[in-house]
A and B are shown apart, each in its own frame.
Chain A
């Protein structure tokens, strides 16, 4: 599977889970790898690339970290969108 296609799958999953469960990197990799049959390292690479460009971001609450879709307001504050 192309990385872009894999990233769309990841994004769809993240949208579906938004507000329902805090997901760690490992949860996302496990789910997408199970769903697509892609190797976990390949999924991890695709996920990390999304985090690097700000499409997904790490979040933090109560000392524990998760991965989330950033809000537009946050992206604007960071100057990543106008």
Chain B
């Protein structure tokens, strides 16, 4: 089977010490016509500088509006193996933890019904299975669901929420990201599988400002763990860092974005003006033994980031500076519901919530969700004066 196509262009991408997707597709092509024709079509694309994929249309499993992205070759006669090459998104477990048994099961199912090619994980967070035919979709879904898997979101829906590894592996997690992610995934099952929104809505959860799932840049709602009180300092460990050669002034204090740290080289002690600290994690990540997040933990909620699809990219914007998050997270769910309701009532088709806030103004959004204006919400000082007034505030 393999060797049907000469691929000099793609072969270039196998050179060097890095893993190569071309090598992996070639391995899959030894036992899959689909993977082999995918290789052939891709080589042709590299030569002609043209893409040959069409995507969309009615394709999916019964009752679900998401989880399958229809993909077809525009050259089905030349590359019959990829005439259909649909993507299946599988809802990943919170924090991306799998047993090897579970991964083997997924791979076996995909060898049976698909190209064998996978992408762990797509930028949505889902476990992505690449390339299957329409007639295999119901069978794939039945096999996946019989083993406890479910499809993820796609289209104008709640997208599969995702989170960092959180408390399972990381001492900096200020919130239980995995529990929250699972809870929101269960709560929004209907919105995830039945696309009824103006466009996509993504929730990503990071346990601290290191933001390992890039929530601030990729989620309509970014939930980022933080603390309210003071950074915990162990001065003995600060001293040990200094004695071990760390230039605390240069590498920590001078790089603090709010300039709220003070280091005394005489007695090798560190002070932090916590009221000025923006919880960026820089100092904590550099002096892991000496500094720890505070004890009063919760999360900052930010809204509106997106990649540049319809209009330009946006970063998320602070809406709630601090919220305590305890199961079953009812306050949070209620707030998200209000955000979605306002967006659903006001957005044009394919308008993300961040774009709608830009169009209608932060005031309208905050009023609709019942959050008062706060200084922390000012994204660009001077450009966004938060004067919230109504006609009725003035005496006629």
Contact = CB atoms under 8 A, between A and B. Distances in A.
Nearest to A80: B62
A59 B58 contact: yes
B393 interface: no
Interface string A58-82: 1111111101101100100111100
A58 B60 contact: yes
Interface string B42-74: 000000000000001111101111100110000
Given A54-B62, A59-B57, A65 B135 contact: no
A77 B66 CA distance: 19
A60 B59 contact: yes
The CB with the most chain A CB atoms within 10 A, among B65, B157, B200, is that of B65
Contacts of A6: none
Q: Interface majority SS on A: helix, strand, loop or mixed? A: mixed
Contact of A57 (B60, B66, B156): B60
The CB with the most chain B CB atoms within 10 A, among A57, A58, A67, A79, is that of A58
A58 to B, nearest CB: 3
User: For the side of the interface on B, what is the size category?
Assistant: 20 to 34
Given A24-B156, A79-B138, A64 B196 contact: no
A58 B59 CA distance: 8
Contact of A64 (B134, B138, B155): B155
A56 to B, nearest CB: 10
B349 interface: yes
A77 B58 contact: no
Contact of A61 (B56, B157, B200): B56
A60 B56 contact: yes
A51 B154 contact: no
B309 interface: yes
B26 interface: no
A22 B57 CA distance: 11
A51 B58 CA distance: 12
A19 to B, nearest CB: 14
A53 B195 CA distance: 17
B350 interface: yes
A71 B199 CA distance: 25
A63 B58 contact: no
A51 B138 CA distance: 15
B58 A65 contact: no
A52 interface: yes
Nearest to A22: B349
Contacts of A53: 62
A77 B64 contact: no
A26 interface: yes
Nearest to A71: B58
A2 B63 CA distance: 22
B137 interface: yes
A25 B65 CA distance: 11
B62 A62 contact: no
A13 B66 CA distance: 24
B60 A63 contact: no
Nearest to A51: B63
Contacts of B155: 58, 60, 63-65
Given A25-B196, A48-B194, A63 B350 contact: yes
A61 B309 contact: no
A54 B154 CA distance: 19
Interface string A8-51: 00000000000000101110000000000000000000001001
A26 B157 CA distance: 13
Contacts of A78: 134-135, 137-138
Contact of A79 (B66, B135, B198): B135
A68 B56 CA distance: 13
A33 B3 CA distance: 59
Interface string B228-259: 00000000000000000000000000000000
19 contacts: A24-B198, A25-B195, A48-B194, A52-B63, A58-B58, A58-B66, A60-B57, A60-B59, A60-B65, A63-B350, A64-B155, A64-B349, A65-B66, A65-B155, A65-B156, A65-B195, A74-B59, A78-B138, A79-B135
